[in-house]
A and B are shown apart, each in its own frame.
Chain A
Amino acid sequence: AQSVTQLGSHVSVSEGALVLLRCNYSSSVPPYLFWYVQYPNQGLQLLLKYTSAATLVKGINGFEAEFKKSETSFHLTKPSAHMSDAAEYFCAVSEAGAGSYQLTFGKGTKLSVIP
């Protein structure tokens, strides 16, 4: 089974500072990776996805992630944090089940943005 590890359950950054959320995966086959964001009392919203087309993936709200096979990593970054970025972020890998694909999630990283 594939697994996803997110380093740091809580990350705090100042408004305007770089955001870096870490994600490492384990997979024996080429992975398909996703970053989702969850705001309080809401469901998950897709930020971006890696599907092997390009190693640097750009998503919504100024976020991007770089796939590094040698490091088995898919870290999420944003050059300048905004107050509205405060939320919980989940990294996920698509895993084959019996006839379909399911998402395996990391434990999540809660991002706080300090004004």
Chain B
Amino acid sequence: KAGVTQTPRYLIKTRGQQVTLSCSPISGHRSVSWYQQTPGQGLQFLFEYFSETQRNKGNFPGRFSGRQFSNSRSEMNVSTLELGDSALYLCASSVDGSTSYNEQFFGPGTRLTVL
């Protein structure tokens, strides 16, 4: 079974631009979560989608948004990029995310650099 895939792997943008990152979950997984990883803040939860609906959201500004398609693929968008948005963005998928011990499988991440 193929793992979680994320595209692109690397991105360089300038301040003020917007960016879209893509995530394809493991086949059969319907829950997709996004995390931001930075040296200063560590790993922080952004949001989680299930059946095309955002079920859960972390403490991030409205510039961060996402969506999920009917095939469970997910995208996240960051508008009006700031230098502090430079990070590794990780996508994780799970079967349905509704149980507390539900294992999440992570993709390799997208490294975003904002200049």
Q: Which residues on A are within 8 Å of B, measured CB to CB?
A: 32, 34, 36, 41-46, 49, 51, 90, 92, 94, 96-108
Q: Which residues on B are within 8 Å of A, measured CB to CB?
A: 4, 31, 33, 35, 42-45, 48, 50, 55-58, 90, 92, 97-109
Chain B residues contacting A102 (CB-CB under 8 Å) are: 33, 45, 48, 56, 58
Assembled-state Cα–Cα distance A90/B103 (Å): 15
Chain B residue at smallest Cβ distance from A33: B101
Assembled-state Cα–Cα distance A97/B103 (Å): 16
Assembled-state Cα–Cα distance A101/B50 (Å): 12
Assembled-state Cα–Cα distance A90/B42 (Å): 10
Assembled-state Cα–Cα distance A81/B102 (Å): 29
Q: A32-B100, A32-B101, A46-B103 are in contact. List 11 more A-B contacts (CB 8 A).
A: A34-B103, A44-B106, A94-B100, A96-B100, A97-B55, A100-B48, A100-B50, A102-B48, A103-B45, A103-B92, A108-B43
Chain A residues contacting B90 (CB-CB under 8 Å) are: 43-44
